[in-house]
Chains A and B, each alone.
Chain A
Amino acid sequence: LTDRLDRTRPPLPGPGRATRFPAFARLPLANGVQILAIELRRAPLVSLELACRAGAELDPPARRGLATFTAGLLDEGTARRSSSEIAAGVEGLGGSLGTGADWNAAYLRIGLLSTHRRAGLELLAELVAQPIFPEAEVERLRRQRLAELLRRRDEPGILADERLARVLYGDGPYGSSLIGDEAAVASYSRADCESFYRTHFAPDASFLLAAGDLGVEELAERAGEHLDAWPRPAAAAAPPAPARPLPRAGLTIDIVDRPAAAQTELRIGHAGVPKRHPDRAALTVANAMLGGKFTSRINLNLRERHGYTYGAFSRFAERRGPGPFVIGAAVGNDVAGAAAREILTELERMRQEPPPEPELAETRSYLLGVFPYGLQTADDLVRKLAEIAVHGLPDDYYRRHLEAIEATAAADVERVARTHLDPARAAIVAAGPADALRPQLEELGPVTVSPAPR
């Protein structure tokens, strides 16, 4: 070695080549389905997704969870194939099939070797256009879901999440779990599912997202053949009522009592902003700094400075309406009050002081730098296409979003923190032993204790 090795300073890189989201095709079918597709010749794999704006925000008030339940029935029987035949067909080829829904959309996903892409597409089209909701499968999935609801009562993190959702949104959309509750699940009928499907699974509310070892033209041609049979509904569905958070007068503190718990699941949050909010990019920067990366303020404080937790995070939900902003950590029972206090202090600090320039520059650089990391696999690309499709974002959304992050200044972070972080009206939820938690949390305000569901 000619030059002396200097280990004392990090060898920091110069600028690399910027990565853009790959160009993609957007093709409409005659019945209104839009295709968004990317050819990715990396591995002989394809990832296909049918996404439809039939998410849980459309659940009828007395039928919470119906969107996820209906989506879960799409692969449980068509005019041509039974539930077991559908599963065996995909899995026999080495592929995987998934159905489900989140608050924004319902989806069907198939991943398989590209040699089987035609069979995959044909099946996807059949499942979305010709489900028959067999009575026996409705009953079977109902029992499965009721058992799942029981099982979730054992999960402290889920108990805390669900209590927070209820405190923030009440009985409205975003206020329950995606899979509903016992009373709602017990009440679904086959007709409810069919009616939800007929109303909301419309071709012109749907998108075929595809990435991998495929040709876009071939895909469009086959999709046209197979999805042709999917008719538009007679009448367009009314757009969903926007989710509305309950008004909040001040800080609230709720304990979900689990007397024997070895740890406390702590959540602090309030309603956030819709996905398509003009402050989204600046909020992404502010949140990364606060709790969105390992070196965030909250994680370094709670984990590395105090040893209160294995990890703490914060996030703004990405929903059509104002979904929650949530900070979470599993903390020791004896330090839950101290941890909550530290979190509130960090929130206040975000509001009171513009971030130091080096911390801001590191955060921007992190968010821009990790972008290509999420563009590697066919599934990665399909997820990114689905985001554009479901939220109705422009084709150059990722370029604009990255540019907006790059342009975010300290004053922007301070402004969005003041506008969108509200520690004085936050909801605190702690799932853990009330005896230990109550005296600690009472120092922050009045506490409501309720038993964990039995």
Chain B
Amino acid sequence: MVSRGRPEVPHQLHRLANGLRVVLHEDHHLPLVAVNLWYHVGSKNERPGRTGLAHLFEHMLFQGSAHVGTNDHFRLVQQVGGVANGSTWYDRTNYYETLPAPALDLGLWLEADRMGFLLEALTEEKLANQRQVVINERRQRVDNQPYGRALERLHELLYPEGHPYRWPVIGYLDDIAAATLDDVRQFFSTHYVPANAVLTLAGDFDPAAALERVARWFGDLPAAPRPAPVAAPADPPSAGERRAELPDEVRLPRVYLGFRAPAYGAPDWYAGSMLAAALASGKSSVLYQDLVYRRQIAQEVGVYLYPTELEATLIVVATAKPGVEAAEIERALDDHLARAAAAPPDGADLERARNQVLTNAYEQLESVEGKADLLSHYTTHFDDPGRLGSELETYHSLAPEDLRSFAARHLADDRRAVVTVVPAGGGA
């Protein structure tokens, strides 16, 4: 039945002796089960010179393990009627399958095999192949995309040398090409240990039976210490705003503003997230109504706050209309940020952002994979699979003044970075 209260995902949390955390959520609506495994490792655990390793490593996890043949991961999942994928980000890497319910054991077997028995199946040949695949992925997503290098440049300007959020998750081309089997082995041994992972199952199963299956496949994988957390280096004294202009194969100029905000989970992070929604989520948002609708100087606008755990990156982006200079767009964005810092937002803008958060939460809970991913996310970041309730409470309790205060403290910062992408050869 539909819950008339607030969105929630009833669950159990267990911890195996080797430290693996297991979250279980029953949902018998359809005969499906989502298997969702998060490792608390991402690009922030890399070092300069070997950027992109976490993501390249994610690719290697689909190349087979001791008992799983090279192309068998996808083959086995697809032959039973399942879907599978993985993704890498700054703080975490995840792997997931949605399977017909009777195939739960297959999903557990696959995940346990690559958690426990990857190294014996690693070969130079597989690595060489996946290096080429990832180099092509980078070209497709970054180097051959209009504006493709802008975010990379923004992060380089925003974060100091050695900061783990300075380099792109996909890594630099030369670093990807330089990755060795030893790098991959080392990365696996350090980070892919049971205590650094969360396994969530959501769907059509009996929890007691499912837990028994999990214990069976994962229980005897050896325990190893959790890797030490990464610390951000101390910031050098501020040198003021940093800027770059990137000529690119584009027709319309685009402006990116980057700011550094409190880490995901801090009360202020939620104020920032709500401010981002008030400013740019939907056609009735403040920036859209002014820049796109009324003045028609921008083609599109966006404000994003990353849920990252060392600190959060806030990005404001707007694409100019033909004939409009990047500088005019930047001035308009600056005006709005100054306004957000000077006065609290309109009550209607806050109410809209609040309602959007609630609708989005319910939408995430419509699918078993959506729920599983959310439970893994909260457990990885907060050790609390039930964090959704308190997050929604936090959102609900925010006052207009909290948004103003966030803007005043974090968006008027002289540590900000600006990247403008302009048509190569000048003139739109």
Which A residues are within 8 Å of any B CB, using their own CB?
1, 5, 7-17, 19, 41-45, 83-84, 87-88, 91-96, 111-114, 140, 143-144, 146-148, 150-151, 153-156, 213, 258, 260-263, 265, 293-295, 300, 303-305, 307-310, 330-332, 361-362, 365-373, 375-378
By a beta-carbon cutoff of 8 Å, the part of chain B in contact with chain A is: 1-4, 7, 29-32, 66-68, 70-72, 74-76, 78-84, 98, 100-106, 109-110, 112-113, 117, 128-137, 139-141, 143-146, 216-217, 219-220, 249-252, 281-285, 289, 293, 296, 299, 319, 321-322, 348, 351-352, 354-359, 362-363, 365-368, 428
Chain B contacts for A8, CB-based, 8 A: 67
Asked if residues B78 and A307 are in contact (CB atoms below 8 Å), the reply is no
Cβ–Cβ contact A91 & B356, under 8 A: yes
Q: How far is the CA of A114 from the CA of B359 in the complex (A)?
A: 10
Task: List the count of A-B residue pairs having beta carbons below 8 Å apart.
Answer: 227
**CB–CB B106/A372 < 8 A:** no
Provide the residues of chain B in CB contact with A94, threshold 8 Å: 352, 354-359
Q: Output the least CB separation between B87 and chain A (Å).
A: 14
Contact of A156 among B112, B144, B289, B321 (CB under 8 A): B144
**Which residue from chain A places its CB closest to the CB of B27 in the assembled complex?**
A42
Verify B368–A365 contact, CB threshold 8 A.
no
CA distance A140 to B296 in the complex (A): 8
Q: Is the CB–CB distance between A366 and B282 below 8 Å?
A: no
Does the CB pair A43–B363 fall under 8 Å?
yes
* Neighbouring B residues of A365 by C-beta, 8 Å: 79-81
Are B31 and A17 in touch, CB under 8 angstroms? yes
From A42, A112, A113, A362, give the contact of B366 (CB < 8 A).
A42
The reply to whether A366 and B81 form a contact with Cβ atoms under 8 Å apart is yes
> Which residue from A93, A96, A307, A366 sits with its C-beta under 8 Å from B133?
A307
Q: Are A300 and B71 in contact (CB under 8 A)?
A: yes
Residue from B102, B113, B366 in contact with A15 in the complex, judged by beta carbons closer than 8 Å: B102
- Taken together as a complex, chains A and B put the C-alpha atoms of A93 and B217 apart, in Å, by 46
A12–B140 Cα distance when bound, in Å, is: 36
A-B contact pairs, 15 of them (CB 8 A): A7-B109, A8-B67, A16-B102, A43-B7, A44-B3, A45-B359, A84-B283, A147-B299, A148-B299, A151-B252, A153-B251, A213-B2, A310-B134, A376-B368, A377-B367
Q: Give the nearest-CB partner of A376 in chain B.
A: B367
| Residues in B neighbouring A293, C-beta threshold 8 A | 78
CB of A84 within 8 A of CB of B284, answer: yes
Contact of A11 among B30, B71, B109 (CB under 8 A): B109
Whether B249 contacts A260 by the Cβ 8 Å rule is: yes
Q: Are A92 and B359 in contact (CB under 8 A)?
A: no
CB neighbours (8 Å) of A13 from chain B are 80, 100, 102-106
- A372-B359 CB under 8 A given contacts A1-B216, A92-B351, A151-B299: no
Given contacts A44-B362, A262-B143, A309-B133, A147 and B252 within 8 Å (CB-CB): yes
Q: A16-B100, A43-B363 are in contact. Are A93 and B355 (CB under 8 A)?
A: yes
A310 in contact with B251 given A12-B80, A84-B284, A91-B283 (CB within 8 Å): no
For A94, give the chain B residue with the smallest CB separation. Answer: B355
Whole-angstrom CA separation of A34 from B251 in the bound complex = 44
Complex interface: chain B residues within 8 A of A144 (CB): 299
> Which residue, A12, A140, A377, has most C-beta atoms of chain B within 10 A?
A12
When distances are taken between beta carbons in the complex, the residues of chain A under 8 Å from B132 are 307-308, 332
Apart from A13-B106, A94-B355, A330-B136, what 17 extra A-B contacts exist at CB < 8 Å? A42-B29, A43-B362, A44-B4, A91-B282, A93-B355, A94-B359, A113-B355, A113-B358, A114-B2, A140-B293, A147-B321, A213-B2, A263-B140, A294-B78, A307-B130, A308-B132, A361-B79
- Indicate if the CB atoms of A88 and B76 lie closer than 8 Å: no
Across the A-B interface, the 4 shortest Cβ-Cβ residue pairs: A369-B81, A94-B355, A307-B132, A154-B146
> Hey, which chain A residues are within 8 Å of B102, CB to CB?
13-16
Complex: how many Å from CA A8 to CA B428?
A: 61
Please state if A45 and B322 are interface contacts (CB–CB under 8 Å): no
B362–A332 contact, CB under 8 A? no
**Which chain A residues lie closer than 8 Å to B82 at the CB level?**
369-370
The minimal Cβ–Cβ distance linking B321 to chain A, given in whole angstroms, is 5
Given known pairs A113-B362, A376-B367, the reply for A310 and B216 (CB within 8 Å) is no
CB distance from B26 to the nearest CB of A (A): 14
Contact B139 A16 (CB under 8 A): no
Closest to B85 in A: A294
Q: Among the interface residues B83, B101, B358, which one has the most CB atoms of the partner chain A within 10 A? A: B83
Known: A87-B284, A330-B140. Contact between A370 and B322, CB under 8 A?
Answer: no
Q: In the complex, A13→B204 CA distance in Å?
A: 14
Complex: A83 Cα to B294 Cα, angstroms: 11
Q: Check A262–B139 contact: CB distance below 8 A.
A: yes
Residues of A close to B101: CB separation below 8 A:
16
Query: Is B30 within 8 A of A372, CB to CB?
Result: yes
Q: How far is the CA of A293 from the CA of B321 in the complex (A)?
A: 39
A87 and B282 contact, CB distance less than 8 A: yes
C-alpha gap A310/B348 in the complex (Å): 44
What residues of A have a CB within 8 angstroms of the CB of B281 in the complex? 91
> Considering the chains assembled together, what is the distance between the CA atoms of A124 and B260 in angstroms?
41
How many Å lie between the Cα of A146 and that of B84 in the bound state? Answer: 39
Which residues from chain A contact B143 at a C-beta distance below 8 Å?
262-263
- Say whether A41 contacts B103, CB under 8 Å: no
* Residue contact A143 to B321, C-beta cutoff 8 Å: yes
Which residues in A have their C-beta under 8 angstroms from that of B321? 143, 147
Contacts of B81 in A (CB 8 A): 365-371
Q: Report how far A304 CA is from B72 CA in the complex, Å.
A: 12
Q: Residue of B at shortest CB range from A372?
A: B30
Which residue on A lies nearest to B366, using beta carbons? A377
User: Smallest Cβ distance from A285 to chain B, in angstroms?
Assistant: 13
Query: Bound complex: CA of A412 vs CA of B191, how far in Å?
Result: 49
**Shortest CB–CB separation between residue B324 and chain A, in angstroms?**
10
Q: Which one of A8, A14, A44, A94 has the greatest number of beta carbons of chain B within 10 Å?
A: A94
Please tell me if the beta carbons of B106 and A11 are within 8 angstroms of each other in the complex.
Answer: yes
Write out the residue numbers on chain A whose beta carbons fall within 8 Å of the beta carbon of B355: 92-95, 113
Question: Is A41 a contact of B1 with CB atoms below 8 Å?
Answer: yes
